[in-house]
Structure 1
Amino acid sequence: QINDGTVKREDLFITSKLWNTMHRPDLVEPAIRTTLKNLGLAYIDMYLIHWPMAYKEDGELFPTTADGKAAFSDVDYLDTWKAMEALVDAGLTKSVGLSNFNAKQVDRVCAAARIQPATNQVECHPYLSRKRLAKHCADKKIVITAYSPLGSPDRPWAQPGDPNLMDDPKLKTIADKYKKTVAQILIRYQIDNGNVVIPKSVTKSRIVANSQVFDFQLTKEDLAYVDSLDCNGRFCPMTGALGHKFHPFENAEY
């Protein structure tokens, strides 16, 4: 629809990510070029390192060892970052950033970077508010982008009995107060905390509803009330990569 004039390219902000099997520096540019070819674009606006852990480069998205565990590569994400910076130089992306990096990993990248990360895209919602990480990143002028702001209720690995943000009675009370849906409260919560928020939906009516969050603000008291739900509840723990030396959640404080 860019070609037929429905939208202008400059009106779209398009982001993609470098997958774990493509961390080796010589694979970074081919990876983004594949993405650009698939999208039919000359450039994207932001390219992120999806996770700090590198996987074995054998052609599989989720390579495994003989005993079925994730097969790791020892590529250091600092070497990957240098290759990411080269993509900006080449005009293939306007900016580069991180995803799922903890505070110490962010510091390590920033100390070595020629081009600073624009964002750190992380799981963020009332059960996992990431306030300390957000403050840490803000001090470095890195924006937090909140993924799974609704708690990823449709995640394939969900188990019966798992907590469900959308059914939380405390959030329903807040939603009723503002005459909004729980999803709209969850999205507005991120905005009022200064985060970029990327809710996911494939349903047109929900996509429209998710955008109807700019006619109200949560009060300080209600923000504090939602903050009180934080229980370090992570829906995307990446347990399959536990044991990797760069796993962001295994030993990190935040």
Structure 2
Amino acid sequence: MNSKCQRVELNDGHFIPVLGFGTAVPLEVPRSKIKELTKIAIDAGFRHFDSASVYKTEDYVGEVIRSKIADGTVKREDIFYTTKVWCNCLHPELVRSSLEQSLKKVQLDYVDLYLMHFPIALKAMERCKEAGLTKSIGVSNFNRRQLETILNKPGLKYKPVCNQVECHLYLNQMKLLDFCKSNDIVLVAYGVLGTQRYTGWVDPNVPILLDEPVLCSMAKKYNQTPALIALRYQLQRGIVALNSTLNEKRVKENIKVFEFQLSTEDMKVLDGLNRNLRYINVSQFAGHSNYPFSDEY
């Protein structure tokens, strides 16, 4: 089956599908659940899979990707696979070994995108790209100031292709998006549908995004689910949107995001829902000099 996903070009010439499937699962859910969801996602047309060593699901996701390559459903070059280096591996010599461990778990020769989960080590990331272990390198959870520091680094070989950040209707990241676009950096959004199920990471008292009345009435207007409206909003802003769900029906539903378009007026209405609400603020890192969420954006 051909992918239904559209792609955008990164600043290094590679292409990324604009709709991605996230492979983190909450602690109380068996890791193996991601196997059946990944299989359903590939069959539905997803080709972009976002993972990380800290998710502890890479071996399951890799097993499904390899089986789908073996049975001819996809070729390796059809799949866009992202992994990330976690905060405890940012010492330069650990950056490459972390990537090699991810490749061993997923059993692929290379990843398509390797991200720094939080701001710190760049030179070692560049060496991973030069070694052919990753096609592209990017960053995650960087604010504008931290991006500028990297972009102004003397001897910078490879500009980050993307910045993966929390972004949704309640935190639309308008200023950061404008900055990224002006520097040819793709903004990749996680938490697009809200992230209530990650207990321990998310304040249980925050409002549930998909219950937002404006979103629900717009979903009725377009005869779509609130999740599809929230996803479509991001794609029309030029954002790469990651979604993850434990519901098999929703996996198949969410790929339908390419089948309709929101009007300019409705996009403005959705812009107006922003309230700078961050679901995931990793407050345990708040005292660190590189903590990214103290700045306005």
TM range, normalised to the smaller chain? Answer: 0.7 to 0.9
Contact 2:203–2:279 at 8 Å: present in 1 too? Answer: no
Q: 2:287 aligns with which of 237, 243, 250?
A: 243
Matches within 5 A, 1:94-243: 94-112=135-153, 113-157=156-200, 158-243=202-287
Gaps of 5+ in 2: 1-66
Contact 2:170–2:275 at 8 Å: present in 1 too? Answer: yes
SS in 2 for 1:144: strand
Contact 2:206–2:279 at 8 Å: present in 1 too? Answer: no
Residue type matched to 1:93 in 2? T
Taking structure 2 as the reference length, the TM-score comes to: 0.75
Partner of 2:74: 7
CA apart distance, 1:219: 1.0
SS in 1 for 2:111: coil
Query: Percent identity at matched positions?
Result: 41
SS in 1 for 2:70: coil
> Residues of 2 paired with 1:27 and 1:3: CA distance?
32
SS in 2 for 1:212: helix
- The answer to whether residue 84 in structure 2 is matched with residue 40 in structure 1 is no
Residue type matched to 2:245 in 1? S
> Residues of 2 paired with 1:45 and 1:159: CA distance?
33
Count of residues in correspondence between the two structures: 227
Partner of 2:88: 21
> Residues of 1 paired with 2:271 and 2:204: CA distance?
25
Contact 2:194–2:210 at 8 Å: present in 1 too? Answer: yes
Q: 2:130 aligns with which of 80, 89, 102?
A: 89
Gaps of 5+ in 1: 53-76
Q: What is the alpha-carbon root mean square deviation over aligned residues?
A: 1.0
Residue type matched to 2:296 in 1? E
CA apart distance, 1:160: 4.3
Residue type matched to 2:275 in 1? C
> Residues of 1 paired with 2:286 and 2:218: CA distance?
37
Q: Deviations over 1:121-164 (max 9, x none)?
A: 00000100001001101111000001000011212134443211
> Residues of 1 paired with 2:285 and 2:293: CA distance?
10
> Residues of 1 paired with 2:111 and 2:187: CA distance?
19
Residue type matched to 1:110 in 2? L
Structure with higher strand content: 2
> Residues of 2 paired with 1:92 and 1:160: CA distance?
39
Partner of 1:59: none
Residue type matched to 2:92 in 1? P
Partner of 1:55: none
SS in 2 for 1:28: helix
CA 1:87/1:160 → structure 2, altered by over 3 Å: closer, same or farther? closer
CA apart distance, 1:4: 3.8
Partner of 1:68: none
